[in-house]
């Protein structure tokens, strides 16, 4: 009986330690600098650098044209880009599609996407800490720090709330 109680106590301690580690990892992420990148624009093949967006608040959105929740986010992203673009904000789509830039450009035109869409690669996904699924988005403040990570669908209300807290 004593052995079972001891094992249960150790399991509780391990669970607490893991929870603390997860909290600390989230706090550490808030101070992480956005990785530098140079990626190809889906629209015209131009090389786009992260330094082109210095001083702006950015939402980096890893997505694919075939991904239902990714497609669901786009209309809200278009609205947010229209409203907050003049306030120093931009969304940048990072397409993980393997079908090439022409496919992605056709999709962006069809969806009337009003923000830059770049062709992602495995290196930039790793540099952002690994992308386990799409959509995955990162909110970057004016200082170039990643302040929030969103795994999965990002709803309009959450994005606007977070943007308003950063753009004050």
Tell whether 21 and 83 lie within a shared domain: no
Residues 94 and 140 in one domain: yes
Residues 66, 18 within the same domain: no
Identify whether the C-beta of residue 39 lies closer than 8 Å to the C-beta of residue 125.
Answer: no
Q: What is the pLDDT of residues 16-34, one digit of tens each?
A: 433 333 334 443 344 599 9
Same-domain check for residues 39 and 25: no
Name the domain count of the chain. 2
Give the Cα separation of 74 and 85 in Å (integer).
Answer: 15
Q: Are residues 64 and 6 in the same domain?
A: no
Same domain? For 45 and 7 the reply is: no
- How many C-beta atoms lie closer than 10 Å to residue 82's C-beta? 11
Domain containing residue 91: CATH number: 3.40.30.10
Over 70: is that where the pLDDT of 149 sits?
yes
For the CA atoms of the chain, what is the radius of gyration? 19
- Residue 84 φ then ψ, to 5°: -100, -10
Residue 55: Cβ within 10 Å count: 8
> Residue holding tokens 């909290």?
23
Same-domain check for residues 4 and 67: no
Q: Are residues 38 and 114 located together in one domain of the fold?
A: yes
**Residues 34-37: contacts with CB within 8 Å, 24+ apart?**
34/58, 34/60, 34/138, 34/140, 34/144, 34/145, 34/146, 35/124, 35/127, 35/128, 37/118, 37/124, 37/127
69-120 pLDDT tens trace:
999 999 999 999 999 999 999 999 999 999 999 999 999 999 999 999 999 9
Q: How many CB atoms lie within 10 A of CB 121?
A: 14
Q: What is the pTM of this model?
A: 0.81
The verdict on 24 and 53 lying in the same domain is no
pLDDT, tens digit (0-9, with 9 covering 90-100), for 36-52: 999 999 999 999 999 99
Written as six digits, the tokens of 102 are 């022409």
Handedness of CA 141, 93, 162, 33 (dihedral sign): negative
* Range(s) of the domain holding residue 138: 34-166
């Amino acid at each position: 009986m004593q052995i079972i109680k001891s094992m249960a106590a150790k399991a509780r301690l391990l669970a607490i330690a893991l929870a603390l580690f997860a909290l600390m990892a989230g706090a550490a992420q808030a101070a992480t600098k956005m990785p530098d990148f140079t990626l190809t624009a889906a629209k015209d093949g131009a090389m786009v650098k992260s330094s082109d967006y210095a001083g702006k608040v950015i939402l980096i959105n890893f997505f694919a044209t075939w991904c239902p929740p990714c497609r669901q986010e786009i209309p809200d992203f278009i609205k947010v880009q229209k409203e907050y673009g003049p306030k120093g904000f931009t969304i940048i789509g990072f397409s993980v599609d393997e079908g090439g830039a022409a496919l992605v450009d056709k999709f962006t035109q069809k969806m009337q996407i009003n923000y830059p869409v770049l062709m992602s690669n495995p290196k930039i996904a790793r540099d952002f800490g690994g992308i386990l699924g799409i959509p995955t988005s990162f909110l970057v403040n004016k200082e170039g720090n990643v302040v929030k990570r969103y795994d999965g669908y990002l709803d309009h209300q959450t994005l606007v709330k977070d943007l308003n807290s950063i753009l004050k």
